[in-house]
Structure 1
Amino acid sequence: MLGRVVGGFLTGIVMAQASFAGTAATDWLARMAESHRQLNYSGIVTYQVGERVNSFRISHYVGNGQEFESLEALDGNEAEWVRSGHDVNCIHPGPEMIRLLGEQADGGLTQQYSIAIDGQTRVAGRDGVVMKISPKDEYRLGYTLTLDEETGLMLRSEILSEQGKVLERFQYVALEFDSENGAAVSSQALQVSHKVPVRGAAARSETLREWRPTWVPSGFRLAEVEGEDANGMTFTDGLAVISVFVESLNPATTKAASEQPMRRGASVSYSVAVPERQALVSVVGEVPMLTAKQIARSLEWLRQ
């Protein structure tokens, strides 16, 4: 989530200091967390993972207290997805955790990341504020975000490796607000369900399972999701999300299963067999492989 300063590095820094000295970086994050669900807009976006780039047309409309979004692939296999039925007040795990953690002096997002405004740039013809989000430990990835100066909408994002390499990039190349095709978007939309995290339910969630990880990086909190079964757990620190799954294997499969690390862009998957439990443990998330591996290998079973 991120950007490149256009018009000169020094000029951008001076302008940022003059224009945004009174606005904390965390305030920009809060604006970003809400803006994408409350605005009417349409545009063309590119999504890059490694050397592969795909483009999409996105339309977003809010009406009658409901949220509608259409996403159409513009290259590759033609496809279109339309999401609807998300009440604009529903809780999204990442943004909600940003607010919750920010309210706690002993466990805020800034305890895990260094967050700073890093100048200005232009993306899709819009003035943007560049933000650098750097992890304070080796268990997280870094981010560079460009937020629309007027609305707070995220115009560009980059997820960075431990070495600072861009793993994934999302960017608007054209963007219009107050889109007039909102009615068309909502009329095409298909009703979908939306999982809502339940706060303060960590203890109850863990009692549903026969296992639990004994280690997750500091700052990650259990985010129970409605409809989530006993085979999975989800954790978030407000930016990154990690999911842990356990599936049963028969003896022959368990014996043949081996360590399976995989990476696609910023997302990693690490699976390892636990022969004595005839189980396969998998950890998936936008974190370094080191993090996924340590979580998977920390699982303990609560019943012998």
Structure 2
Amino acid sequence: MAGPVHADCNLSQTLQDRINTMLGAHSRVAYTGTLLLERNQHREFVDVRSGNGGSGANLRRLNDAPGSPPIAYPSEHVTTVEACELAEHYVFASAPGDTVGGRETLRLSARPRDPLRFGYVMDLDKQFGLPLRVVTATADGQMLERYEFASIEISATPDSSQSRLPQIDSDFALSELPPGFKLIASRTQPMPAMIVSDGLAAATVFIESVEQIIQPGEGGLNEGSTVSYTRGVNGPRGGILVTVVGEIPMVTARLLADAVRVQQN
């Protein structure tokens, strides 16, 4: 299906196709493999088994105790943008890729145009477009995190790219999102949460209501490319704790917390 036309899009058709294939890859494949995750000078191997059509994945760290249950990782790979829209926020380039996990790849790099997002160097599976190696870096090139499949098996599944994560009525909403970010899903259980993405970067905004008045304040930490930022504020019905978790810079997490609004019922 043809996407929206961007008259000022300066990407070649080949580069557009490569980006769009990557954006939709998680909705078209299932895969099983072992990857190496490196961040904060720490390395670990992780077994990954995806669901069909982008329905999330189960992760198991190989250095966990025997019998430890896998970690369910919900999918945030919902296609909300296309290549030319992404190019408003990233500068893209392509090159030949390495062999990763025994599969041929094509390299795609994305350099951020602003400080609200990180940069990426991705080696994409030549057949399916799935990222097999991803290096996440700051705008000035400092590596934050890298993952790379040591082995992987990929199979095609029915395309679910037109599906969307659920949107649920909530007492909270997001307004004035950072440029390029869109709300792609929301839920109310086990606590209100809203997922936002610019197509590459994604974050979840969790909201916890407390009855008593709380001391306003904020705190944040980084682990590799993942930020966790929490702010306490007081609303008309008591205190609110807003927590933002995602692969975004701290400044973007603060802007997402700024965007939280209490719905007027």
1:48 aligns with 38
Structure 1 position 50, deviation (Å): 1.6
Query: TM-score, normalized by length of structure 2?
Result: 0.75
Structure 1 position 288, deviation (Å): 0.5
2:77 aligns with 94
User: Secondary structure at 1:223's aligned position in 2?
Assistant: strand
Q: Distance in 1 between matches of 2:263 and 2:154?
A: 52
Match status 1:212 vs 2:173: yes
User: Secondary structure at 1:217's aligned position in 2?
Assistant: coil
Q: Distance in 2 between matches of 1:142 and 1:219?
A: 15
- Conserved in 1, the CA contact under 8 Å of 2:78 and 2:164? no
User: Secondary structure at 2:16's aligned position in 1?
Assistant: helix
Summarize the Cα distance change of 1:82–1:291 in structure 2 as closer, same or farther, 3 Å threshold: closer
Structure with the greater alpha carbon radius of gyration: 1
1:147 aligns with 124
Gaps of 5+ in 1: 1-20, 87-91, 179-194
* Structure 1 letter corresponding to 2:223: R
Q: Percent identity?
A: 25
Match status 1:132 vs 2:122: no
Residue 265 (structure 1) aligned to one of 220, 224, 242:
224
2:16 aligns with 26
2:144 aligns with 167
2:207 aligns with 246
Deviation digits for residues 134-167 of structure 1, max 9, x if unmatched?
1221111111100122332322012212332221
2:65 aligns with 77
Task: Quote the RMSD (CA, aligned, Å).
Answer: 3.7
* Structure 1 letter corresponding to 2:45: S
Q: Distance in 2 between matches of 1:278 and 1:22?
A: 50
Counting matched residue pairs gives 245
| Structure with the higher fraction of residues in helix conformation | 1
Q: Distance in 2 between matches of 1:144 and 1:197?
A: 27
Gaps of 5+ in 2: 1-10, 156-162
Match status 1:290 vs 2:258: no
1:12 aligns with none
Query: TM-score, normalized by length of structure 1?
Result: 0.66
- Conserved in 2, the CA contact under 8 Å of 1:215 and 1:298? yes
Match status 1:116 vs 2:96: no
Deviation digits for residues 220-257 of structure 1, max 9, x if unmatched?
111234666772222111111222222223436x13x6
